[in-house]
Structures are given as structure tokens and as C-alpha cells.
Amino acid sequence: MTENLNVLVVDDEPDVCWVLDVLLRKHGFTVVTMSSGAAALRWLGDMESACSLILVDAKLGDIEGVELAKRIRTDTSCAASVILVSGYFYKDDSVVQDSLNAGIISAFVTKPFRHEEILGAIHAVLSTTLRNNYDS
């Protein structure tokens, strides 16, 4: 089911990009990594149809992760779900809760993470998205 699904990873930490790239490729995804919000928006503008899921760091050099998630909705036509992957916030922080409730992000994963934890979150988000797509 994950075959040929494009995942965009946005994190300004190259080693974190390395981790997610290795992990997701091992599980059959195609991975693209970007180190800034601006680069991510540019790439999405060009390649929107090819992206199925976006993993975003909470604190990027040029933009907040939550803000980037909003911009993806408003500035691009990409409909892919966004998962916030952060070492800065806690799950019960109001920013995280509000963003989840408003549907700006679909899941939240704290760093450091167990691989089964982040993979579980990704599969949960994707299955919801696919079911929604199927329903509609």
C-alpha cells in the first residue's frame, strides 16, 4: 500500500532528515527531504500531485512548522496530510492541540521517537486519508 507514495520531510537538521529518509525508504516510501519552509513550498508548488504525506519539524530556520502547514493549505493546492515531528512541543501544548483540532496537522510525534511509533502514526494518517478519498 505504501509503494510509490511520496513523502516530503522538512527538517533543518540533516541527520534527522537522514533518519526519516532511511526509515521511510526501508518501508517502501519514496522520500524527498527539504531543509527549509521556503524550499518545501517551492517543491510542493512544482510537484503537488506527487506528494501524499508531509512530515514537518516544529522549528525551522525560516518558519514555524504549524505555520508551514497552514501555508501548504493556503499557498499550494497540495492536499497531503501533515504530521508535526517535534522535539520542542509536548503533545498537550495548546499549539499542538489547537492545530490537531483545526485539522491543520493530522498527527503529532515527539522526538526522539520509536520507529514503530512514527510508522504507526504515518499508517493511521494515510489510512484515514485513503478511506476519505475512497468515500468521496
Partner 1 sequence: MKDQVSERTPAGLSSVAGKASDGWYEKLYHMLLGNIPFSLLLVDRSLRVVSANRNFLVKGRRNAMDTIGAHIREVFPDAILEFTQLESKIRGVFESGLPLPGAQMTYRAPGIHTRIYYYSVIPVRLGVVVEHVMLVMDDITEKVQLIEKARMVERHLATVVESANDLVVSTDAKGCIISWSRSAERISGYQANEARGLMLAELCETAQREDMKAMIQRLVEGSAVQFQEIGLVARSGRLVPVDWSCSPILDDTDKVSGVVAVGRDLTERRAFEQHIFQSEKLAALGVMAGGIAHELRNPLAVSFSAAQFLSVTSDDPLFQQECVNKIIDGIQRSSLIIENRLRFARPAPGDRVGAVDLVVLAQETLSVLSPQARLQKIKVQEKYADSPVSVSGNTNLLQQVLMNLILNACQFMPNGGVVMVEVRREADVALIQVSDTGCGVSSANLRRVFDPFFTTQPVGKGTGLGLSICHTIVKQHGGEIELNSVEGQGSTFTVRLPHLQG
Interacting residue ranges for partner 1, rule: CB under 8 A = 13, 15-16, 18-19, 22-23, 59, 61-62, 86-88, 110-115
Crossing angle for the helix pair 37-47 and 65-75, to the nearest 10 degrees: 30
Give whichever of 48 and 64 is closer to partner 1, judged by the CB atom: 64
User: Alpha-carbon distance 72 to 40, whole Å?
Assistant: 9
Q: Which is nearer to partner 1, 17 or 104 (CB)?
A: 17
Q: d(Cα 117, Cα 26) in Å, to the nearest integer?
A: 15
- In angstroms, give the least distance from the CB of 117 to partner 1: 10
Nearer to partner 1, 66 or 78 (CB): 66
d(CA 65, CA 48): 18
Smallest distance, partner 1 to C-beta of residue 46, A:
26
